[in-house]
Structure 1
Amino acid sequence: MPEVQLSVIIPVYNEEAGLAALFARIYPALDALGLRYELIFVNDGSRDRSAALLAAQFEQRPDVTRVILFNGNFGQHRAILAGFAHCRGERVVTLDADLQNPPEDIHLLLAAMDQGHDYVGSIRRQRQDAAWRHWASRAMNHLRHKLTGIVMTDQGCMLRAYGRNVVQLINQCNELNTFIPALAYQFAQHPTEVVVGHEERSAGESKYSLYSLARLNFDLITGFSLVPLQLFSMLGMAVSLLSGLLFVLLAGRRLILGPEEGGTFTLFALLFLLIGLALLGIGLLGEYVGRIYQEVRQRPRYVISAILEHQP
């Protein structure tokens, strides 16, 4: 069997309405590359007819199509990790199933890899998302860069290319919650970014709610940096120092000027501020402890019910 030069991994979750359009565009785009490729669809526990449509597509193109079927919903990043574990290509490209990133732009990523880069991120040109997604993405990009030092202009774009060396290193990692683009950036020797197109979703609706995006960014920050804990440690020391100075000031004032009336509401305001900071710090600590708890249980990251593939 000839060596597979390119693997394209596409997670699928309730994409029944858009799969026909995806099939109509992805195969011609990959055929035009003139490479020996495989297309790996990972069905992430879809509740609609996505699994049936993927199986039917496998019957039409069994030579280049593989389908991994999960027995439940484990999340987009774990679906990509399953694709990494089963792919055969020397180069691996990830792509969302919603066609917001045109598959015709895959050649741009491969061209960058031809120049010696082992990891190629992407920057969406003229994003078609809602305004709040623009603002949230810009804010999280800035915060992520400050906390982790990881350089990703557009962390939300999943059209990315990985060299086999990077994929193998990612496959050696066993953590349950991670952010694959950031992990790849740490392992890559020569990362870069290219500008790709961005279109409106062809059908269906986004599977990422505001809560899901917040959870994803918690995974990114807590999985790659201890800076939040260190900041709260320094904040605790600063508050303790200021509290001690305030105690000395009030004690001196009482000895010199005598007791005074009032100041109750100021005391309550200060107390509520300190309680709020304490609760925020406890919540942040809980995020790290919760992830430790998930890791020590050593439960599988995903469960595969079936793999549809052609056996040569």
Structure 2
Amino acid sequence: MSHLEARAGHPGAGHLDAGRPEVSIIIPVYNEEDGLAALFARLYPALDALDTSYEVILINDGSRDRSAAMLADQFHVRPDTTRVVLLNGNYGQHMAILAGFAQSRGEIVITLDADLQNPPEEIGKLIAKMREGYDYVGSIRKQRQDSLWRRKASQMMNRLRERITRIKMTDQGCMLRAYSRRIIDTINVCGEVNTFIPALAYTFSQNPTEIEVAHEERFAGESKYSLYSLIRLNFDLVTGFSVVPLQWLSFIGVILSLGSAALFVLLLVRRFIVGAEVQGVFTLFAITFFLLGVIIFALGLLGEYVGRIYQQVRARPRYLIQAVLEQHDGVPAVPGANRAGAAQ
């Protein structure tokens, strides 16, 4: 039987225990209607086969297609193991995951993208590794199915990020990761408005590790991350977890100041020895424009840090919840309308 022929609503070993489930699966969804049926057809059988208690938390991040309706339908198919969080707008992947973290109850919390590039069948590997005593399990995509430029760009950004932030993640773009309850509870009380969840979790972990996982082509649709979005994400990651760029900027400023002073002395000496010169005008213009470029870059970098402070001190909610579809005492219910995700 193919994955698509499997029935997504097969009740089995995944029923929630009376207390907390062992595993929570967090899946943010944004305009994924073409691939959700395939996701459900593979996800639930894979989790049922693990013979452990689990819950699946699906977060609709303001989708403009039929994703929200399909998530609601899936909740009615498997209300025993499914919870659906409907956000009232598009807040971004990481804010949607934070909304899922706030709803989660599992001792092991796993994040998974909805595009099926990371097979749900790999979840068991992360659970097994967490049971060995690790509190953070990252993943490395083997035989990545992305384009060459994207793989190379990712490798370069990974190396640059590691040198700046000292956060060791071999494959920062893979969201198939597992976290302990302690880390999730710590993240839930963390007041950062802008953050990168895998890096934030790494800073809180005591015993992290990484494993290799399979990687497949996107089942349907297109990636929600454009080149600009990826650059923006990495810039946020660097400025959000390190002040090294500011230290580099200060160092460059000192070097340029010393160089400018040396050039001034040189020109002054030549003025007295050689006399007035006209030939060096274009060189001075080039130096001036270079220094202006450095100043503009420095202002932009400082503005990035100031902007993060501005967003933080406003203390606005990170997200707003329109509704939560969940089961109470065996009866499907829709509580929690218009709840806010606290920013502090």
State the TM-score, normalizing by the size of structure 1.
0.99
The answer for the alignment partner of 1:149 in structure 2 is 166
SS at match of 1:66: strand
* Contact 1:2/1:36 (<8 A) preserved: no
Partner of 2:268: 251
Please give the per-residue CA displacement for 1:107-148, whole angstroms capped at 9, x wherever unaligned. 111111111100000000111112221121111101101101
Partner residue of 1:90? 107
Aligned partner of residue 245 in structure 1, secondary structure:
helix
- Larger fraction in helix: 1
Is 1:182 matched with 2:183? no
Q: In the alignment, does 2:105 pair up with 1:77?
A: no
Q: Which amino acid aligns with 2:178?
A: A
In structure 2, the residue matched to 1:213 is 230
CA distance in 2, matches of 1:76, 1:249: 55
**Deviation digits for residues 133-178 of structure 1, max 9, x if unmatched?**
1121111101101101000000000000000011011111111110
Gapped runs of 5+ residues in structure 2? 1-17, 330-344
Partner of residue 267, structure 1 = 284
AA at the equivalent of 1:146: R
Correspondence for 1:52: 69
Paired residues for 1:202-241 under 5 Å: 202-241=219-258
Between the aligned partners of 2:91 and 2:307, the Cα distance in structure 1 is 17
Alignment partner of 2:314 out of 297, 300, 303: 297
- Is residue 58–residue 67 contact of structure 1 (8 Å, CA) maintained in 2? yes
2:25 matches 1:3: no
Task: Please list, as runs of the form range in 1=range in 2, the aligned pairs for 1:110-149 lying within 5 A after superposition.
Answer: 110-149=127-166
Amino acid at match of 1:234: F
Q: Which amino acid aligns with 2:78?
A: R
Q: Which structure has the higher relative contact order (CA within 8 Å, separation 6+)?
A: 1
Instruction: After TM superposition, give the deviation of residue 218 of structure 1 in Å.
Output: 1.5
The aligned amino acid for 2:203 is Q
Cα distance in 2, alignment partners of residues 7 and 260 from structure 1: 74
Identity value in percent:
67
Q: Secondary structure at the match of 1:274?
A: helix
* Structure 1 segments of 4+ aligned residues over 4 angstroms from their partners: none
Count of residue pairs brought into register by the alignment: 312
Q: Where does residue 36 of structure 2 map in the other structure? A: 19
Q: C-alpha displacement at 1:261, in angstroms?
A: 2.5
Aligned partners of 2:277, 2:236: CA distance in 1, in Å?
50
Distance in 2, matches of 1:94 and 1:306, equals 21
